[in-house]
Amino acid sequence: MGLAPSAEAGIVGAMADAEKEQPVMLPFADKAGTGWHVIVRYHEGHERRIDGFATEQEALDWIIANSGELNK
């Protein structure tokens, strides 16, 4: 027995809402030119800065490794 169309819409809607809640994470070069940092922008309006990356690739690797952990 399948779900009623309205129940299916509720499940899809909840999944879409969860995706909207994911923060945006972007790598940026430090102004001093000595390294990289990641800015995490939350949809609630605040930001978090993660410092200490030597290269853009290190910052991107951190984003990939941590993208699912920030909301937990």
pLDDT at 11: 47
Enclosing domain of residue 45: 23-72
Establish if 56 belongs to a structural domain: yes
Q: Would you say residue 58 lies in a domain?
A: yes
* Listed residue (64, 46, 55) closest to 28, CA to CA: 55
Q: What are phi and psi of 35, to 5 degrees?
A: 180, -160
Nearest alpha-carbon partner for 49 in 57, 58, 38: 38
Q: Is residue 57 part of a domain?
A: yes
Residue 49 inside a domain? The answer is yes
In a domain, residue 4? The reply is: no
Return the H-helix or E-strand segment holding 62: helix 56-66
pTM of the model: 0.65
pLDDT tens-digit series, residues 1-52 = 554 554 444 444 444 455 567 889 999 999 988 899 999 999 888 999 999 9
- Domain assignment present for residue 52? The answer is yes
Domain count, the chain: 1
12 occurs within a structural domain: no
1 found inside a domain: no
